[in-house]
Structure 1
Amino acid sequence: MSKIGETTLQLDLTALEHNFRYLRAKIAPTTKFLAVVKAFAYGSDMVAIAQKMEQLGADYLAVAYAKEGSLLRDAGIKTPILVLHPLPANFDEIIDRCLEPSLYSKKILTEFLDVAKAKNQKGYPVHIKFNTGLNRLGFNETDIDFVAEQLTDKKEIKVTSLFSHLAASEDMDEKPFSLNQINTFKKISQKLIQKLGYAPMRHMLNTSGIINYPEAQFEMVRSGIGLYGYGNDAGVDSQLKPIASLKTIISQIHHIEAHETVGYNRAFTSESSRKTATLPLGHADGIGRQYGNGKASVLIHGKQAPIIGNVCMDMIMVDVTGIDCKEGDEAIVFGQNKSAEDFAAGAKTISYEILTAISQRVKREIIAS
């Protein structure tokens, strides 16, 4: 990989391909694969990731909101795009940009039908989401008759898929709950398919679901975090490759004496002579204040350098006492040798949060073989 001269998020598309093929091998050849690229592709580069997924043959992409899908269409992405959380204000945009909405409530379903009718749509593809226990978005089992009535003999839209979302697929202590969700979804989908008179695709499994409940892969699976190198399980993580490496450089080195303080509010007081390094990234770049005061560290020449004091907007200070380093040397926040999960753990959070928090002002560099 190239040597950096500023804070840079390096994105390894070869690692992305490895992760896709690993997950693809866990499902049947006939099962479709949906790649989740919401939130700038988990904080990386949505266009570059979507282009690679399209090249590799992903059957679907998923975004959270219409604007994300429009950005992909502007970049020339042709793969079908599911909008997981569409809002009525964006229904015209969704149709104009050939995006496919998840319809998850009575209000959303009826309002989208009205817009589709006003725009003279015929068989516009939609996806119906059911709530089976996550209690976030989705119709309930008691809504089956309502959904069927709304869809019967309607020419404007046609259901492409029925889907739900597991609440704890990574936690095998919650296996009974997950199995109940799967069984509930089976029952719901069978009832609705019978009423519709045709069989849309079904999908329920996320990354951990693909690993732990392959018997419930139905006609399609969805993967987000797994594509980016994290599987919510140490054994799975060892088989995946993090695609993102956040690197920066040492801007300045300070030598401080005992009882001197570092940073805002004098949050760190040295008990002895120390050497500190200032790095050019802070909470405006996604390194939140919760990582300060020893809760997280960076790697400098293979050694851990803990963050000391409060995280600043544009800078962090780390303790490099005992590390042979100089200004301009590289510091690794997370990557292949220090996972985002490990970095996040000290602040009692998860890889998803640190990955998606990386600011758009951080330079992205695409690494491809």
Structure 2
Amino acid sequence: MPKATETILEIDLNALSNNYKYLTSKLKNNTKFMAVVKAYAYGSDSVAIAKELVNLGADYFAVAYPIEGVILRDAAIQTPILVLHPLPVNFDVIVNRCLEPSIYSFKILDEFIAYAEKTNQNNYPIHLKFNTGLNRLGFTEDEISLISKKLAATKSVKVKSAFSHLGASEDLSEKEFSLKQINTFKRISEKLTAELVYKPLLHCANTSGIINYPEAHFDMVRSGIGLYGFGNDKVENKNFKPIATLKTVISQIHTVKKGESIGYNRGIIVEKTTQSATLPLGHADGIPRSYGKGKGWVVINNKKAPIHGNVCMDMIMVDVTDIECKEGDEVIVFGSTNTAEELSAAINSIPYELLTAISQRIKRVICRK
């Protein structure tokens, strides 16, 4: 790849392919794969990612909100799309764009059935979400009979899948909790299937569930963070390739004399003559203020340059005193070596948060490395 001349987010489709193939290598041949492409495909480019995943063989997509599904439909992506968090105000969009809602409460179930009947739907696909311990969204095990009665009373909808979500599958010290969730979901699945006259798809494994709990693969698995290059584990990370590299350039270099300050609120007062490089990205681009005052860093010419002073809205300043560099040189914020996981750990965060925060004003460059 040519050197960056502005702030860009490179998205490597070959890395995506590597991650998809690794994850699917863990599955039986008949297990379906749902790719989670919510939040602009974890801060990258949902259309480019989804199109590549279609070519790779993904069976389903998952988004958080209907607008994310609309973006994919507008790009002519026809793969089934599960909307994980629909609201009644979204039902028109969902049905008009052939999206499939997660039904997680009786309010949503009743209102969607009423909408489906009013609009003369027949067997419209819905997905039943069950709460097995995450305590976020979902029906409970003791609500299955009432769910079944409501479904038996209408032909407007049909259950395409029943699913749950593992809350701690990456943490093997919580194995007992995860196994309890999996066993609860098995009971729910058996009860639900016994009351329906057909068998829906069953799924509850996320990325770490795919890796750590093969007994939880069921009919389909869902992966988000793994597709984007992270296995939630230092050992597993070696099998993944981060797809996103955030790059920028040095706009200007200042010589700051001892006792002078840098940035807003005199964020740092230097103790010796310092070379400070200003970069064109800041907290409006997804680099939070918490990375300031030396907690975060970038890489310039293979050397770490700590962020000093406070992160500004559109700029950060880094210490290049001991780095040979010049204005216009490329800067790596995170990528395959200086990873988003390492950088996010510096402020006690996780790569999900850093990746999904990257502003849409940053240019996306699709590539194959």
Give the TM bin, normalised by the shorter chain: over 0.9
Q: For residue 134 of structure 1, what is the aligned residue in structure 2?
A: 134
- Relative to structure 2, which stretch is displaced further, 229-238 or 140-149? 140-149
Kindly state the Cα deviation for residue 189 of structure 1 after the two structures are TM-superposed: 1.0
Q: For residues 154-303 of structure 1, what are the structure 2 equivalents within 5 Å?
A: 154-303=154-303
- The whole-number CA distance in structure 2 between the counterparts of 1:321 and 1:117 is 69
- The whole-number CA distance in structure 1 between the counterparts of 2:187 and 2:337 is 45
Q: For residue 46 of structure 1, what is the aligned residue in structure 2?
A: 46
Q: For residue 106 of structure 1, what is the aligned residue in structure 2?
A: 106
Q: For residue 152 of structure 2, what is the aligned residue in structure 1?
A: 152
- The whole-number CA distance in structure 1 between the counterparts of 2:2 and 2:343 is 23
What SS does structure 2 have at the residue aligned with 1:228?
A: coil
2:243 partner letter = I
Kindly state the Cα deviation for residue 258 of structure 1 after the two structures are TM-superposed: 1.1
Kindly state the Cα deviation for residue 197 of structure 1 after the two structures are TM-superposed: 2.0
What SS does structure 2 have at the residue aligned with 1:227?
A: coil
Kindly state the Cα deviation for residue 368 of structure 1 after the two structures are TM-superposed: 2.5
- The whole-number CA distance in structure 2 between the counterparts of 1:264 and 1:90 is 43
Q: For residue 309 of structure 2, what is the aligned residue in structure 1?
A: 309
Kindly state the Cα deviation for residue 273 of structure 1 after the two structures are TM-superposed: 1.0
What is the aligned residue count?
A: 369
1:358 partner letter = I
Kindly state the Cα deviation for residue 4 of structure 1 after the two structures are TM-superposed: 1.4
Unaligned runs of 5+ in 1: none
Kindly state the Cα deviation for residue 2 of structure 1 after the two structures are TM-superposed: 2.3
- The whole-number CA distance in structure 2 between the counterparts of 1:300 and 1:42 is 25
- The whole-number CA distance in structure 1 between the counterparts of 2:55 and 2:78 is 11
Q: For residue 31 of structure 1, what is the aligned residue in structure 2?
A: 31
What SS does structure 1 have at the residue aligned with 2:227?
A: helix
- The whole-number CA distance in structure 1 between the counterparts of 2:227 and 2:2 is 23
Kindly state the Cα deviation for residue 259 of structure 1 after the two structures are TM-superposed: 1.2
- The whole-number CA distance in structure 2 between the counterparts of 1:110 and 1:368 is 47
> RMSD of aligned C-alpha atoms?
0.7
Kindly state the Cα deviation for residue 269 of structure 1 after the two structures are TM-superposed: 1.1
What SS does structure 1 have at the residue aligned with 2:337?
A: coil
- The whole-number CA distance in structure 2 between the counterparts of 1:181 and 1:323 is 51
Q: For residue 4 of structure 1, what is the aligned residue in structure 2?
A: 4
Q: For residue 321 of structure 1, what is the aligned residue in structure 2?
A: 321
- The whole-number CA distance in structure 2 between the counterparts of 1:157 and 1:55 is 30
- The whole-number CA distance in structure 2 between the counterparts of 1:125 and 1:225 is 26
- The whole-number CA distance in structure 2 between the counterparts of 1:118 and 1:56 is 38
Deviations 1:126-172 (A, max 9, x none): 10000000000000112111211111142100001000000000000
Q: Does 1:338 align with 2:338?
A: yes
What SS does structure 1 have at the residue aligned with 2:149?
A: helix
Give the alignment's TM-score, normalised by structure 2.
Answer: 0.99
- The whole-number CA distance in structure 1 between the counterparts of 2:146 and 2:318 is 58
Give the alignment's TM-score, normalised by structure 1.
Answer: 0.99
- The whole-number CA distance in structure 2 between the counterparts of 1:153 and 1:191 is 18
- The whole-number CA distance in structure 2 between the counterparts of 1:89 and 1:54 is 29
Kindly state the Cα deviation for residue 295 of structure 1 after the two structures are TM-superposed: 1.1
Percent sequence identity is 62
Deviations 1:268-298 (A, max 9, x none): 1111111110000000100011111111100
Q: For residue 22 of structure 1, what is the aligned residue in structure 2?
A: 22
1:331 partner letter = V
- The whole-number CA distance in structure 2 between the counterparts of 1:231 and 1:246 is 20
- The whole-number CA distance in structure 1 between the counterparts of 2:60 and 2:153 is 27
Q: For residue 119 of structure 1, what is the aligned residue in structure 2?
A: 119
Moved over 4 A (4+): none
1:138 partner letter = G
- The whole-number CA distance in structure 2 between the counterparts of 1:268 and 1:345 is 22
Deviations 1:60-80 (A, max 9, x none): 000000011011000100100
Q: For residue 88 of structure 2, what is the aligned residue in structure 1?
A: 88
